[in-house]
Amino acid sequence: MKIAITGGTGFVGRHLAQRLSQQRHEVVLIARGWDRRDLSVRELRGVRFVSVGLDDGEKLQQALAGCDAVAHCAGINREIGAQTYQKVHVEGTRNVIEAARAARVQKILLLSFLRARPACGSGYHESKWAAEELVRDSGMDYSILKAGVIYGRGDHMLDHLSLALHTFPVVALVGLKATSVRPVAVEDVVRIICAALVENRLARETVAVLGPEEMRLATAVRRVGEVLGKRPLYVRMPLWFHYVLGWLCERTMKVPLVSLGQVRILSEGVVEALPPCASLPSDLVPQTTFSSKQIRAGLPKSRRFGRQDLRGCLG
CA distance 270 to 278: 16
The model's confidence at residue 82, banded by pLDDT at 50, 70 and 90, is confident
Q: Give the CA diameter of the chain.
A: 55
pLDDT tens across 237-288, in order? Answer: 999 999 999 999 999 988 888 899 999 999 999 999 999 999 999 999 999 9
Minimal CA–CA distance to 93: which of 135, 33, 139, 140? 135
CB 15 within 8 A of CB 73: no
- Number of domains making up the chain: 2
Q: What are phi and psi of 30, to 5 degrees?
A: -110, 120
Judge if 86 and 164 occupy the same domain. no
First to last CA, the chain: 41
Q: Which domain does 247 fall in, by range?
A: 157-179+213-270+287-309
pLDDT tens across 210-244, in order? Answer: 999 999 999 999 999 999 999 999 999 999 999 99
Judge if 59 and 197 occupy the same domain. yes
> Residue 43: is it exposed, middle or buried by C-beta count within 10 angstroms (0-12/13-18/19+)?
exposed
CA distance 41 to 69: 19
Q: Could you tell me if residue 72 is inside a domain?
A: yes
Compute the C-alpha angle 54/57/58, nearest 5°: 130
Please state, rounded to an integer, the average pLDDT across all residues of the chain: 93
Judge if 117 and 221 occupy the same domain. no
CA dihedral 42→44→46→51, nearest 10 degrees, is -20
Q: Could you tell me if residue 275 is inside a domain?
A: no
Judge if 118 and 169 occupy the same domain. no
Q: What's the confidence (pLDDT) of residue 313?
A: 57
Q: What is the pTM of this model?
A: 0.94
Judge if 193 and 250 occupy the same domain. no
- CATH code for the domain of 75: 3.40.50.720
Please say if the pLDDT value at position 114 is more than 70.
Answer: yes
Judge if 39 and 127 occupy the same domain. yes
Judge if 175 and 117 occupy the same domain. no
Judge if 120 and 252 occupy the same domain. no
